[in-house]
Amino acid sequence: DSGVTQTPKHLITATGQRVTLRCSPRSGDLSVYWYQQSLDQGLQFLIQYYNGEERAKGNILERFSAQQFPDLHSELNLSSLELGDSALYFCASSSRGGGASKGYTFGSGTRLTVV
Amino acid sequence: DQQVKQNSPSLSVQEGRISILNCDYTNSMFDYFLWYKKYPAEGPTFLISISSIKDKNEDGRFTVFLNKSAKHLSLHIVPSQPGDSAVYFCAASASTHAGKSTFGDGTTLTVKP
Round the average pLDDT of chain A to a whole number and report it.
Answer: 93
> Alpha carbon A3 to chain centroid distance?
15
**Secondary structure of residue A100 in the 3-state scheme:** helix
Mean pLDDT of A80-89: 96
The one-letter amino acid at B48: I
Measured over the CA atoms of residue A78, residue B105, residue B108 and residue B18, the dihedral's sign is negative
* pLDDT score of A85 more than 70: yes
How do strand B10-14 and strand B107-112 relate by DSSP bridges?
parallel
Closest-CA distance of chain B to residue A99, Å = 5
Contacts of B97 in chain A (CB under 8 A): 56
Per-residue confidence (pLDDT) for residue A99, from 0 to 100: 63
- Quick: pLDDT tens for B5-53: 999 999 999 999 999 999 999 999 999 999 999 999 899 999 999 999 9
Distance CA A89, CA A96 (A): 23
Closest-CA distance of chain A to residue B86, Å = 13
Which residues of A lie closer than 8 Å to B, measured between beta carbons? 2, 4, 31, 33, 35, 40-45, 48, 50, 55-56, 58, 90, 92, 94, 97-109
Per-residue confidence (pLDDT) for residue B55, from 0 to 100: 95
Instruction: Select from B42, B49, B94 the Cβ nearest to the Cβ of A103.
Output: B49
